[in-house]
């Protein structure tokens, strides 16, 4: 039985106890990143260290592959004692682990074929021990670029690794700075196109290889820039291929390196065409799926996808691929990990056609409503409202645009209600009402939705909260003009309170004639239906008409209308 529990934060020592029930059949186990596995209570790690005697792999005789990298092993736990019962290990992952006495690895010197020491402090004793593991086929001694390590790889060490570990097919030394020069001088370098033949290697130690390596990790080293590298697949930062190899190789267990590589991919594709768009899309989406809660990878990956989906070749990708990308972008939006991810995700979605968003249409709409309604800053509100309109109001699907408009009206009214309740900036209200004004122009259904969602009450509440904001008044009255243009809706405006307040605004001198003009526009539509439909006694129709006439007479005919946009 094989069991992969990578980065399962909910695992505790109880899980380890449960695993013992399967010790007879378990042959492969990954606990990589399960940082709570040695604790009884994941919420109080300092106080919840379990009984040390319970931490054991005793009885797991059939276990051949074990990855306990990035476990943050408590100092009370000795890795040698922990692993000693495992007689049949063939592959071992010890990333980020402190190994004070590495000689214990010698117990597997005749059988260990894979050893991962990513972000492990190297020293002479550890290197000497590794060189005794003669059956190794895969060796990873890479580190992340910010990882501090006083030990430096030398040409001699690298030469010994190649010479002594003759079975190696995969080697990763990413992140290391070579202490002395390992590269062939330009004048001595083999002529001709790049070659993977060991004899032509531009890196001296690799000239001792019997055959090219299947994989060679040179990411964040100067060695990746040389001409002749004896390996079929190389990670590095020299070109797009090396960077994509790095994203592929490091996504699952070296997320720090993968994050940096995705960032470098973004820097390439934002200024030039991606040569392998399909692979880039697959790898970035895989990284985003793998690290849903890693803020840095989500931010970097979402930026990379934004650039990749802007490529001319994007339109020619399969429906399956495009749906996968959209789903991953929406997943990032759903996690709501902060403004950068949300903004980038929205920018990506706004570039896509509605038919490309079909499979995630409802989710996107609901998520954006939630984000818009939660905004407390005008600038971010503007951005997300713009994004919503850019995504859904594309004009190529009348039905979906109509549905989106109705949802948008409701969302903006909810935002206005919250702004009033929380006493936020009047600029939030000004912007919200202007968006409603634009969304209802010449559209009866959105106007009906406005009334159904207590829009008139919100108008009265906004007026009361900000009695001196002339721009707000103009926007609100402009929207009410749109409503009043719809004959079937005008009876709903015939209330004493509404007519009294609007008729009083006829006398406003704010912003020249703007407020008075818009108030007159609302009332003129209502007047058009004649005296028979005017059922309100106070104010009576004649009084309101007189006020309208007085207002019109008072307008400066030489003034210019000041329409806010």
pLDDT in tens, the chain (565 residues): 999 999 888 887 777 778 888 888 899 999 999 887 877 655 554 445 555 556 678 888 899 999 999 987 777 788 898 899 999 999 999 999 999 899 999 999 999 999 999 999 999 999 999 999 999 999 999 999 766 567 888 999 999 999 999 999 999 999 998 766 889 998 888 888 999 999 999 999 999 999 999 999 999 999 999 999 999 999 999 999 999 999 999 999 999 999 999 999 999 999 999 999 999 999 999 999 999 889 899 999 999 999 999 988 898 899 999 999 999 999 988 886 567 888 999 999 998 888 888 888 889 988 888 888 887 788 888 898 898 888 887 655 566 667 778 888 998 999 899 889 888 778 888 999 999 999 999 999 999 999 999 999 999 999 999 998 999 999 999 999 999 999 999 999 999 999 999 999 998 876 678 899 999 999 999 999 999 999 888 999 999 999 999 999 988 877 766 554 4
- Is-contact 5 31, C-beta < 8 A? yes
The dihedral formed by the CA atoms of 352, 356, 359 and 360, expressed in degrees to the nearest 10: 0
pLDDT score, position 45: 47
Predicted TM-score (pTM) of the model is: 0.84
Can you state the angle between helices 470-484 and 444-452, rounded to 10 degrees?
110
Integer angstrom CA distances of residue 382 from 286, 372, 375, 423: 32, 9, 10, 19
pLDDT score, position 372: 84
Cβ contacts of 276 within 8 Å, gap of 6 or more: 240, 241, 244
Domain boundaries, the chain: 252-352
- Is-contact 140 217, C-beta < 8 A? yes
Which ranges of 393-530 would DSSP assign to H, the alpha helix?
Answer: 398-422, 426-440, 444-452, 455-465, 470-484, 496-504, 514-527
pLDDT score, position 402: 72
Concatenated DSSP letters of 14-73: HHHHHHGGGTTT--EEE-TT-TTTTBS-TT-TTT-B--GGG---TT-TT--EEE-TT---
pLDDT score, position 565: 41
- Is-contact 531 541, C-beta < 8 A? yes
**Long-range pairs, 351-356, Cβ under 8 A, ≥24:** 351/306, 351/309, 351/310, 352/309, 352/322, 352/326, 352/391, 353/394, 353/396, 354/392, 354/394, 354/396, 354/397, 354/400, 355/397, 356/322, 356/323, 356/326
Q: Quick one: which of 219, 194, 215, 190 has its CA closest to 204?
A: 190
- Is-contact 477 502, C-beta < 8 A? yes
The dihedral formed by the CA atoms of 521, 524, 529 and 535, expressed in degrees to the nearest 10: 100
Which SS3 state, helix, strand or coil, does residue 228 take? coil
- Measure the CA–CA gap between 326 and 68, rounded to whole angstroms: 34
- Measure the CA–CA gap between 514 and 495, rounded to whole angstroms: 23
- Measure the CA–CA gap between 117 and 95, rounded to whole angstroms: 5
pLDDT score, position 122: 92
pLDDT score, position 86: 93
Q: Quick one: which of 496, 551, 542 has its CA closest to 520?
A: 551
- Measure the CA–CA gap between 306 and 318, rounded to whole angstroms: 17
- Measure the CA–CA gap between 127 and 122, rounded to whole angstroms: 7
């Amino acid at each position: 039985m094989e069991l992969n529990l990578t980065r399962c934060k909910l695992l505790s020592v109880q899980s380890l106890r449960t695993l013992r029930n399967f010790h007879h059949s378990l042959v492969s186990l990954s606990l990589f990143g399960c940082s709570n596995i040695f604790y009884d209570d994941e919420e109080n790690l300092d106080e919840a260290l379990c009984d040390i005697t319970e931490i054991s792999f005793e009885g797991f005789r059939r276990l051949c592959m074990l990855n306990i990298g990035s476990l943050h092993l408590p100092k009370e736990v000795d890795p040698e004692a922990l692993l000693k019962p495992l007689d049949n290990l063939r592959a071992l992952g010890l990333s980020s682990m402190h190994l004070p006495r590495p000689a214990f690895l010698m117990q597997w010197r005749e059988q260990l074929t894979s050893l991962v020491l990513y972000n492990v402090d190297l020293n002479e004793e550890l290197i000497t021990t590794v060189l005794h593991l003669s059956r190794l086929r895969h060796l990873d001694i890479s580190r992340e670029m910010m990882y501090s390590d006083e030990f430096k790889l030398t040409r001699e060490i690298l030469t010994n690794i190649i010479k002594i570990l003759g079975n190696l097919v995969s080697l990763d030394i990413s992140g290391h700075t070579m202490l002395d020069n390992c590269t062939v001088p330009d004048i001595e370098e083999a002529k001709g196109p790049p070659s993977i033949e060991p004899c032509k290697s531009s890196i001296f130690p690799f000239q001792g290889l019997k055959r090219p390596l299947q994989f060679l990790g040179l990411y964040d080293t100067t060695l990746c820039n040389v001409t002749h590298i004896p390996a079929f697949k190389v990670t590095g930062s020299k070109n797009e291929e090396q960077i994509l190899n790095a994203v592929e190789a490091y996504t699952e267990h070296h997320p720090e390196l993968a994050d940096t590589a995705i960032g470098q991919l973004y820097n390439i594709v934002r200024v030039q065409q991606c040569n392998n768009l399909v692979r880039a899309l697959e790898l970035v989406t895989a990284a985003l799926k793998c690290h849903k809660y890693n803020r840095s990878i989500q931010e970097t990956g979402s930026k990379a996808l934004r650039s990749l989906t802007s490529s001319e070749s994007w339109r020619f990708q399969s429906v399956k691929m495009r749906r996968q990308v959209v789903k991953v972008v929406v997943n990032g939006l759903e996690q709501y990990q902060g403004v950068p991810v949300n903004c980038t995700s929205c920018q990506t979605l706004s570039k896509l056609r509605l038919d490309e968003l079909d499979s995630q249409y409802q989710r996107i709409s609901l998520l954006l409503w939630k984000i818009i309604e939660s905004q407390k800053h005008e600038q971010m509100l503007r951005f997300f409202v713009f994004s919503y309109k850019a995504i859904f109001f594309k004009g190529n699907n009348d039905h979906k645009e109509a549905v989106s408009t109705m949802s948008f009206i409701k969302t903006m009214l909810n935002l206005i209600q919250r702004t009033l309740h929380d006493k936020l900036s009047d600029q939030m209200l000004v912007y919200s009402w202007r968006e409603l004004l634009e969304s209802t122009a010449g559209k009866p259904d959105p106007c009906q939705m406005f009334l159904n969602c207590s829009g008139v009450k919100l108008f009265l509440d906004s007026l009361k909260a900000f009695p001196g904001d002339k721009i707000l008044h103009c926007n609100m009255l402009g929207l009410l003009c749109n409503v009043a243009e719809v004959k079937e809706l005008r009876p709903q405006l015939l209330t004493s309170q509404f007519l009294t307040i609007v008729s009083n605004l006829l006398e406003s001198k704010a912003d020249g004639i703007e407020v008075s003009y818009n108030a007159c526009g609302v009332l003129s539509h209502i007047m058009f239906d004649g005296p028979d439909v005017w059922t309100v006694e106070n104010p009576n129709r004649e009084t309101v008409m007189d006020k309208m006439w007085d207002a019109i007479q008072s307008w400066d005919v030489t003034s210019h209308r000041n329409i806010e946009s």
